[in-house]
């Protein structure tokens, strides 16, 4: 199951910069992950300062 970003997102962009497949983009009030592109590597969760990405 692809990762999703919770409402805890603080829009810092750390996750998008870390994503190896560019599945993360700026959404309305938080970053969002394209489920079809996500490879479930967990890189985004590892760099997020607030733990917003989870699977």
CATH of the domain at 18: 3.30.70.20
| Full domain range(s) for residue 19 | 4-54
In the numeric block, the tokens 């590892």 are attached to 46
Spatial distance between the Cα atoms of 5 and 23, rounded to a whole number of angstroms: 12
Total-model pTM: 0.93
Query: How much is the average pLDDT of 14-30?
Result: 98
Residues 6+ apart with CB under 8 A from 54: 3, 4, 6, 45
| Total number of domains constituting the chain | 1
pLDDT tens track for 27-55: 999 999 999 999 999 999 999 999 999 99
List C-alpha distances in Å: 50 to 36, 37.
Answer: 24, 23
Q: How many CB atoms lie within 10 A of CB 9?
A: 19
């Amino acid at each position: 199951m692809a990762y999703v970003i919770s409402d805890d997102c603080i829009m810092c962009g750390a996750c998008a910069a870390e994503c190896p497949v560019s599945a993360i983009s700026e959404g309305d009030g938080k970053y969002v992950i394209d489920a079809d592109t996500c490879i479930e590597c967990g890189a985004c969760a590892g760099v997020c300062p607030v733990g917003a990405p989870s699977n």
